[in-house]
Structure 1
Amino acid sequence: MNVTDARAGLRDDQSDVHADLARARVVLAEAAQHTEDLLATLPEPERRTLDQRATAAAAIEATRTTRAEFLDAHVDAVYDELTEGRTRHLRLDELVETAATAFPGLVPTNHRLETERTRPQAHKEGHEIDQGVFLSHVLRSPSAGPHLIDAMLRPTPRALALLPDFSRTGRADLGSVRMERSRGAAHLTMCRDDCLNAEDDRQIEDIETAVDLALLDPDVEVCVLRGGEMTHPRYRGKRVFSAGINLKSLHGGSISLVDFLLRRELGYIHKILRGVSVGNGADRRTGMVEKPWIAAVDTFAIGGGAQLLLVFDHVIAASDAYLSLPAAKEGIIPGAANFRLGRAAGGRVSRQVILGGRRIWAGEPDARLLVDEVHEHDDMDLAIERGIDRLRGPAVIANRRMLNLVEEPVDQFRTYMAEFALQQALRMYSADVLDKVGRFSAAKEARAE
């Protein structure tokens, strides 16, 4: 089958996706099945000839266009059906799983994704892009988008289950994050010493749970995030804040769009900024419980670590620490840093850091745009305690809320995330990223021989 044949059967029915929802969902399912049947006749992606790759790409793109047109016409109706008239607050993973069942062909099934996860990134079919198309449309919708944002600000079931024990003991060991309450402050310590606190799906789960616990515990007034001591030979005994995304996991294909790249931004990072949504809970005026946050940066905050600092109320750095955002070098988008860094540091510095890979050292003048205090290592603990005391004031929460309202209106964040969902999905499967992944895998195999 050639490229022209791959597109056959899709064009005639494409206009029908703009018809009533009942007809449109059938057309979508048939178009998706047409492509699935075609792909089933081809070898696995890494074994295809150039012609076979072109044929597969043409069929996938034609069906993806049909999905986008379907969502252009029906996204609100689809979201309302999935959430039962917006009475259910489905998190990202729940939403895409429910959509895969209710609207066959709209997003990949769990079975399809599980098969994909067994493959290195360079050998995947790219089905996650269809999740990006779907979630981009949902987030862009003025009615569905805010509802999804609120769903992601709600506490996780794991946190709710652990909250009574944490409130009683003031301690929790979540695996990659440990936390302790002391004098009204929740101290969250990232302790992935095996990878210098590089983030993967596992750490996202743990840190969101920790953020929820810190926000929901009534005895916590201020929250602190810091990296723990490392066992890596180069940094043994030193604290490290974060090495960013776990490149080994990215290249191995186990960094997911939904459970990592989108959950991270819409989940724990947004909760640090905005608070946790409790409906008609403690704060009846807003339905949110929020607290001030301090970040303490030792050694470096690379990539995702630097992104985190942009939502904290107070940042303290060791004198020899540095910040960087090398996502452009890796070929991906550095989360919401493109949205937030320019506001904090200005357009020139933002471009130098994101596009040019510039490192900003804690001691240089431009660091004062991103860091509030710089101290020698021996003085970091005392600086953190002083920072906690300053943020205990009764008017701090109301004022941080007003500052965030002006600096980052939730609708602007939602619009950014709508585009991010699509562009990041496309970047993960772009030719340059897959080429980097392939070279990384080849080098790894060569070292093993």
Structure 2
Amino acid sequence: MSIPVWSTLQAAAAHVDKMVAALPEPGSRLPEERAELAAVKDTARVLRMRFLETHADAVYDRLTDGRTKGLRIAELLEAAAAQFPALVPTAEQLAADRGRRQADKEGYEIDQGIFLRAVLGSPRAGAHLLDTMLRPTPRALQLLPEFLRTGVLETKSVRLERRDGAAYLTMHRDDCLNAEDDQQVDDMETAVDVALLDPAVKVGVLRGGTMTHPRYRGRRVFSAGINLKSLHAGDISLVGFLLLRELGYIHKLVRGIRTEDAPWHSRTVEKPWVAAVETFAIGGGTQLLLAFDHVLAASDAYLSLPAAREGIVPGAGNFRLGRHTGPRISRQVILQGRRIQATEPDARLLIDEVVEPDEIDAAVARTVDRLRSPAVVPNRKMLNLAEEPMDEFRRYMAEFALQQALRLYGEDVISKVGRFAEKV
């Protein structure tokens, strides 16, 4: 490794730490103090990017013992903090930020974004990390035996039930209209893992549960997207939510799960997935639909990706939406917040079948039966290979890691989620 660059980076990182320690808490700093600290942080970040442009593979190989050990993104960052503390924030720094509102954080996640941009940007290290992220989580492996026995898995955010060879995954955060947070991402990956690992499951179905919210009481709602109240409170993390969501359960919905039980001719166990949208799929809800093999919607439902209004990047929506709709509509939806009603002609680019609300159950059953065919899995594999090559996905996620980290700390985002929280 380049000793001069590393030494300069270490000195710059130490200068940042010394200044942070000398200043008041983030929320109490004067404008000139914030500006001075931001300049010092930017100097260190330029050095991090320069160092990683040359040494990302070497750092990754050191952390993973020459890519013989698989570390998920959180584990990888923890190992990097221990061995290369000037590159990413330490556990103590992250813990200090964790209890703060988003507006009062130091922004250490930006440094995590710089690191992950470099790792994912490397064809060698990035491919290994993506492969590692396809493996089942320890939590799923622990819960799998009970699900195999009972056919039911209950978590705080989702319920998974096996019926007649199909896994029915129901999101039931009725307190927030299935708005996603770190907890729901963890629960979703657990449920997706279990469904993929169960040999008795041939098809997966995702649906929103029945709500108790006064405005939607008694109705099923698919998803309200990211939980903006949690984001304002500082409880939406770059790694535990924004990256884990894309590289965890959604990645597995598309490409399957890496397991020793995979057939000799495939690296993963894949299954077709059906989504049934009722009421609305906002933000992350619409992002999810782009990973499904068949999308059903009630005639009174709508889809939207209000990224411009929220100020963040809509996950892999920018990567996948244009593949479905073409570039013009994807720009209308993402950049201008266009809402698409299930019954309008353009909706057919995103929805396979629109039925009356009371016909959803029957439509789901028909679709599940169609997707049981043994030829479905190899054909979906080839479709996904053609439509979403792993290398293109890797390059997109590399840039997403940094851009989304920067957006988390944008003044416009902090202002918008603050106003949203005041209304709740």
Question: For this structure pair, what is the TM-score category when the shorter chain's length is used for normalisation?
Answer: over 0.9
Who is 1:10 aligned against? none
Alignment partners' CA distance in 1, 2:6 and 2:191: 40
**What is the Cα deviation at residue 250 of structure 1?**
0.7
The partner residue of 1:266 within 235, 247, 267 is 247
Task: Give the letter for the 1:400 counterpart.
Answer: R
Who is 1:44 aligned against? 25
Alignment partners' CA distance in 1, 2:408 and 2:88: 17
Matches within 5 A, 1:106-125: 106-125=87-106
Alignment partners' CA distance in 2, 1:325 and 1:55: 36
- 1:190-219 CA distances to partner (integer Å, 9 max, x unpaired)? 000000000000000000000000000000
Alignment partners' CA distance in 2, 1:438 and 1:367: 32
Who is 2:2 aligned against? 19
**What is the Cα deviation at residue 40 of structure 1?**
1.3
State whether structure 2 residue 194 is matched by structure 1 residue 213.
Answer: yes
State whether structure 2 residue 377 is matched by structure 1 residue 400.
Answer: no
Alignment partners' CA distance in 2, 1:160 and 1:439: 41
Matches within 5 A, 1:15-414: 19-20=2-3, 24-278=5-259, 280-414=260-394
- TM-score norm. by structure 1 comes to 0.92
Task: Give the letter for the 1:52 counterpart.
Answer: E
- 1:10-46 CA distances to partner (integer Å, 9 max, x unpaired)? xxxxxxxx725xx654443332112100121112222
Q: Give yes or no for contact 1:281–1:287 (8 Å, CA) kept in 2.
A: no
Alignment partners' CA distance in 2, 1:84 and 1:27: 26
Count of residue correspondences: 424
**What is the Cα deviation at residue 410 of structure 1?**
0.4
Task: Give the letter for the 1:431 counterpart.
Answer: E
Task: Give the letter for the 1:317 counterpart.
Answer: A
Worse-superposed segment, 325-334 or 38-47 = 38-47
Q: Give yes or no for contact 1:301–1:322 (8 Å, CA) kept in 2.
A: yes
- TM-score norm. by structure 2 comes to 0.98
The partner residue of 1:418 within 386, 392, 398 is 398
Q: Helix, strand or coil for the counterpart of 1:355?
A: helix
Q: Give yes or no for contact 1:198–1:244 (8 Å, CA) kept in 2.
A: yes
Alignment partners' CA distance in 1, 2:224 and 2:412: 22
Q: Give yes or no for contact 2:221–2:277 (8 Å, CA) kept in 1.
A: yes
Is there any run of 5+ residues in structure 1 with no aligned partner, and where? 1-17
- 1:97-131 CA distances to partner (integer Å, 9 max, x unpaired)? 11000101211112211211211111111110000
Q: Give yes or no for contact 2:228–2:420 (8 Å, CA) kept in 1.
A: no
Q: Give yes or no for contact 2:182–2:236 (8 Å, CA) kept in 1.
A: yes
Alignment partners' CA distance in 1, 2:184 and 2:386: 31
Alignment partners' CA distance in 2, 1:305 and 1:431: 25
Task: Give the letter for the 1:77 counterpart.
Answer: A
Task: Give the letter for the 1:283 counterpart.
Answer: P
Alignment partners' CA distance in 2, 1:326 and 1:113: 29
Q: Give yes or no for contact 2:312–2:407 (8 Å, CA) kept in 1.
A: yes
Structure whose CA Rg is larger: 1
Alignment partners' CA distance in 1, 2:312 and 2:188: 22
Q: Helix, strand or coil for the counterpart of 1:143?
A: helix
Alignment partners' CA distance in 2, 1:115 and 1:349: 42
Alignment partners' CA distance in 1, 2:262 and 2:343: 41
Alignment partners' CA distance in 2, 1:343 and 1:356: 18
Q: Give yes or no for contact 2:179–2:223 (8 Å, CA) kept in 1.
A: yes
Q: Give yes or no for contact 1:215–1:275 (8 Å, CA) kept in 2.
A: yes
Task: Give the letter for the 1:373 counterpart.
Answer: E
Alignment partners' CA distance in 2, 1:100 and 1:393: 47
Alignment partners' CA distance in 1, 2:420 and 2:184: 23
Q: Give yes or no for contact 2:88–2:112 (8 Å, CA) kept in 1.
A: yes
**What is the Cα deviation at residue 267 of structure 1?**
0.5
**What is the Cα deviation at residue 317 of structure 1?**
0.4
Alignment partners' CA distance in 2, 1:89 and 1:26: 29
Q: Give yes or no for contact 1:140–1:418 (8 Å, CA) kept in 2.
A: yes
Q: Helix, strand or coil for the counterpart of 1:193?
A: coil
Q: Give yes or no for contact 1:154–1:277 (8 Å, CA) kept in 2.
A: yes
> Among the aligned pairs, what percent are the same residue?
65
Task: Give the letter for the 1:188 counterpart.
Answer: L
Task: Give the letter for the 1:250 counterpart.
Answer: L
Alignment partners' CA distance in 2, 1:437 and 1:164: 41
**What is the Cα deviation at residue 440 of structure 1?**
4.4
Task: Give the letter for the 2:285 counterpart.
Answer: G
